[in-house]
Structure 1
């Protein structure tokens, strides 16, 4: 008779349930922030010269820290791609918020050089354009929603970078096109989040993501 009633160590350490998926949370955080920023860039109902400080709180906390938390959880789950993108875009929103917070002194440092400030912002956005299109190439064998998301996001950055590098006035057509692409991007992100969240236990519908080359 076996009197050793203690379970083996590997059984104790083995998790009983798989870790939760932080992807929908990260996608929702990104979607809402991109939605607000897209509307502002389109200057829907606002003066073209109105400040964009309303986005600061959302960019810093929900789109920023929220995505960083989601990214760290993705790293914990072993998902390197999602961890990299969520943490990167989360810190993008944090860094973007610093441009709008007066205490950081970014805009004030360029007070006498407004054109140089626009150039600097354009270079900053161009770097994110390059990063986004690099990430886009890694979605070609995943699903249609992810591919469309990163492509539209890359176009959002591209139009915004062009607007700044060309020193166009606020409310220009290029900036509005970038804002429109941002709205499309936010819609795809929300759709992807709902596709991950919806299942037969909690809803009457499920949403396809459109699998591509992965087998």
Structure 2
């Protein structure tokens, strides 16, 4: 058997990786996952001397720029829902990273408006699988909790929001990892669906 025939046979024998959309979707979900994980953990206060603003560069470049580029590629690949999600979330992270300090009412309103966007993304991805739907649903909850924390000055609710955001980040990271590595090690990863 020639080398080319062996490669072709291996391709057909291995299970296809789980799909999150076009080829840019795993990159977008990795960027979203890492940004949400950092944002969430820094919101919890679990790291002494670190806060949410310490994730500014990560939010700007990984969350903002990478998600924006992934969104454009998703649109090019024909995925309006994922393209919209990545472009909008890229705008969210750029705004979050670059925003001047605002009053609690303005910040709370900002978070509530983005929670509406996250709710829209949850509904738009309803048939996209449990993990992807879970990412957006948990992000919605995290944004609502952060808004309540900001408007009410309740630090405990803010820490709870951080844990919810971190859970959303882990789901996004796992979704992307599963899609990229599905079947690569001869084992089946947990399903993305």
Question: What TM-score bracket applies, with the shorter chain setting the length?
Answer: 0.7 to 0.9
Structure 1 stretches (4+) deviating beyond 4 angstroms? none
Measured in 1, the distance between the counterparts of 2:140 and 2:51 equals 24
Match of 1:209 in 2: 192
Question: Where in structure 2 are the equivalents of 1:35-46 lying within 5 Å?
Answer: 35-46=37-48
Match of 1:78 in 2: 78
Residue equivalent to 1:65: 65
2:105 counterpart of 1:122: no
Greater Rg over alpha carbons, structure: 1
Q: 1:53 to 1:135 in 2, by over 3 A?
A: closer
Do the aligned partners of 1:143 and 1:209 also contact (CA within 8 Å) in 2? yes
Residue 45 of structure 1 and its aligned partner are, at CA, apart by 2.7
1:172-183 map, 5 Å:
172-183=155-166
**Matches for 1:1-215 after TM superposition, within 5 Å:** 21-47=23-49, 52-99=52-99, 106-107=100-101, 117-168=103-154, 172-200=155-183, 202-207=184-189, 208-210=191-193
Q: Please give the TM-score of this superposition, normalised by the length of structure 1.
A: 0.75
Please tell me whether the aligned partners of residues 31 and 190 of structure 1 are also in contact (alpha carbons under 8 angstroms): yes
Residue 204 of structure 1: how far off its partner (Å): 2.4
Return 5+ residue gaps in structure 1 as ranges: 1-19, 100-105, 111-116, 211-215
Name the structure with the higher helix share: 2
Q: Check whether the contact 2:112–2:147 (CA below 8 A) recurs between aligned residues.
A: yes
Q: Shift of residue 199 of structure 1? A: 3.2
d(CA) in 2 for partners of 1:41 and 1:142?
28
Distance across 1 between alignment mates of 2:32 and 2:106 = 24
Shift of 1:54: 2.1
Distance in 1, matches of 2:38 and 2:106, equals 23
Local SS of the residue matching 1:53: helix
Q: 1:119–1:167: 8 Å Cα contact kept in structure 2?
A: no
TM-score, scaled relative to structure 2: 0.83
Count of matched residue pairs:
171
8 Å contact kept, 1:198–1:205: no
Please list every run of 5 or more consecutive structure 2 residues that lacks an aligned counterpart in the other structure. 1-21
Q: Distance in 2 between matches of 1:23 and 1:59?
A: 18
